[in-house]
Structure 1
Amino acid sequence: MEIKQLKYFIEVAKREHLSEAALELDIAQSAISRQITQLEKELQVTLFKREGRNIHLTDEGKHLFTEATKIIDQLDETIRLFHNQSESNHFIIRIGYVESYISQVLTLLIQAFENKSDSVVEPILMEESDILNALLTDQIDIAFTELTQTLKQNSSLKINPLFEENFHIYVPKDDPITMATNPPLIQFSNKMIYELYALPSNIRQTLEKVVETPIRTVTHTQIAQYLLNKERGYIIAPSYHLLDKNPQKWVDVSLEHTELRRTICSVVRPDNRKNDLQLMLTTIEQLLSRSATYH
């Protein structure tokens, strides 16, 4: 049984006239007759009584008319539902982003975009390992993520490098490292290192190759400041995460000269035709496409 057979049957049943149904459906009368015959054969019933040029529904035909009407109505309602949902989704820009400087400026970006557009933005914080697949499977429209070799090698994506993200480390004031110019990471090898919030996985891996002791995580600036005050360790963080200045207790040492750096980019699929996506990309370019935005 096919949907078109039910539709043909319903039109004939409403009119009890083949030629009128054919005219309404804009198909040949013979095509309708053929489909009705196939439907009767499959159901093993007679749907119409034929009396010369006139046809009338049988009891089985009346029963099928009731059920077929329900099926087609439900089908039409389902189609309308998805069309409405699709139209609504066309005005939603879903942004997937990894924890980075983007988190600090995302509100500004959303406001700037929504002030010029009828579309709305849904921000979604994601893991680095999930974000590319989400973009490729249309779960998100734009990705803010690290520019990796995997991304560079994917010619099906439109990639826009935005800025380089660097890191810094807070060191107790009397530590000899504070006197060094551009100290290499190896000088921190035997130190107790705390990350202020979780570092990006590749940055942490690079650091772990140098540091001999396990890297601990703290998630509050007051804890980080307490550890520094007690000279219990060093606090490493992205350049946009800052502690209150306390020159009597600790010194902020930049690590931008080291390999602890990454490039953040925006990524889209060129075949994405969502409404106002180009406006969002322009807004991103205006607000974010510059090096060291947060310095």
Structure 2
Amino acid sequence: MELRQLLYFVKVAQREHVTQAAEELHVAQSAVSRQIHQLEEELGVDLFIQKGRNVHLTAVGQLFCSRIETILKDLDRAVDEVHEFLDPELGEIRLGFPHSLGSHLIPSLVAEFRKRYPNVKFRFKQGMFPSLIRDVVSAEVDLAFISPFPESHEHVEGNLMLTEELVAIVPSAHPLAGEETIHLNQLKDEPFILFSEGYSLRPIVWKACIEAGFTPKIAFESEETDTIRGLVAAGMGVSILPEMALYETNHRLQPARVHIAAPKITRTIGLIHRSDDKLPLVAQSFRNFLLEYFKVHGDSRNEFK
């Protein structure tokens, strides 16, 4: 069994199409087919079944593929670690983060870090709380910013980086737009624009509304902070967003932001990594940089293991 056979096999499994896999691998289709056939002969099983122009993994093929993907990831990691050992400033950092941090915080941190290590590469992956946890545990990413910061977890550990205030946003012509602070129950009769189910900010806002004595009336749901901000600015309702999501843009429509005096609404943001695995040297350098950065600019005192 050769490494090339395994690489070809996984690519065909991912694409479910021999020709497309061959094109991506930059080899002839016949070469891919031959290697797959030899692999099947050696194993004594059919790994694929033909369905029209596509191929699909058999049951045993699915089992074999899951194992081989893990092996290939470990191999890639081993090669990366060798390169990082030779020069940790030339490595790649695989970083996960929620969408709400993508417009300002992540670009700012990466730009600051690259002033020190200009040759380091980044590979980003955005996701929601459950998927970010899975990505860290499965080694899809080295580090992940996550909100809310989990108090404990069997397979990850990390540091609380900062606690951020959430503020109300209303249309610029709204009667409360000129107020410096409000009580949340002043918005009880307003239509709310909230994040969709599964996004960590939604239960934070929902819980705050219940604490303020009302259930929010949902007018719209969205998966993007920019969309929520735009709908509020267009007069479609009100919302509650992190301050970090409200940095000025060039768009002419902007909502008014108003601080909430009671109940105080905050979210925690932490940095996590696998608890049972050593970070690549370049990722450890980035983690050390972040701990130093937030020690000066935020709160990184709390941690769990």
What TM-score does the superposition give when structure 1 sets the normalisation length? Answer: 0.56
The 1-side partners of 2:107 and 2:200 are apart by 22
Question: What RMSD, in angstroms, separates the aligned Cα atoms of the two structures?
Answer: 4.0
Aligned identity (percent) is 15
In structure 2, C-alpha distance between the alignment counterparts of 1:80 and 1:250, rounded to whole Å = 48
Displacement of 1:159 in angstroms is 1.8
Question: 1:213 maps to what in 2?
Answer: 217
Q: CA deviation at 1:265?
A: 0.7
Offset of residue 176 of structure 1: 6.1
Cα drift, residue 203 of structure 1:
2.3
Residues 228-264 of structure 1 deviation map (CA, whole Å, 9 limit, x = unaligned):
xxxx5334332123368xxxx9753112653431110
| 8 A Cα contact 2:92 2:282, kept in partner | no
Match of 1:272 among 278, 294, 299: 278
Could you report, residue by residue, the CA deviation over 1:130-179 in whole angstroms, capped at 9, with x for unpaired residues? 1112211211111100244xx32236543211111222223465636866
Counterparts of 1:97-246 in structure 2 under 5 Å?
97-101=97-101, 103-117=103-117, 118-148=119-149, 151-154=150-153, 157-171=156-170, 175=175, 182-195=181-194, 200-206=201-207, 209=210, 210-217=214-221, 219=227, 221-227=229-235, 233-242=237-246
Q: Deviations over 1:96-152 (max 9, x none)?
A: 11123454121232233344445422111111121112211211111100244xx32
Question: Which is greater in Rg?
Answer: 1
Shift in alpha-carbon separation, 1:250–1:94, aligned structure 2, 3 A: closer
Q: Does 1:291 align with 2:295?
A: no
Tell me, in whole angstroms, the C-alpha distance in 1 between the residues paired with 2:216 and 2:279: 50
- Counterpart of 2:201, as a letter, is P
Q: Distance in 1 between matches of 2:156 and 2:177?
A: 43
Gaps in structure 1 of 5+ consecutive residues: 3-66, 72-78
Contact persistence 2:194–2:220 (CA under 8 A): yes
* Alignment CA distance shift 1:287-1:102 (3 Å): farther
Instruction: Verify the 8 A CA contact 2:167 2:258 in the aligned structure 1.
Output: yes
Corresponding position of 1:24? none
What letter is aligned with 2:185? I
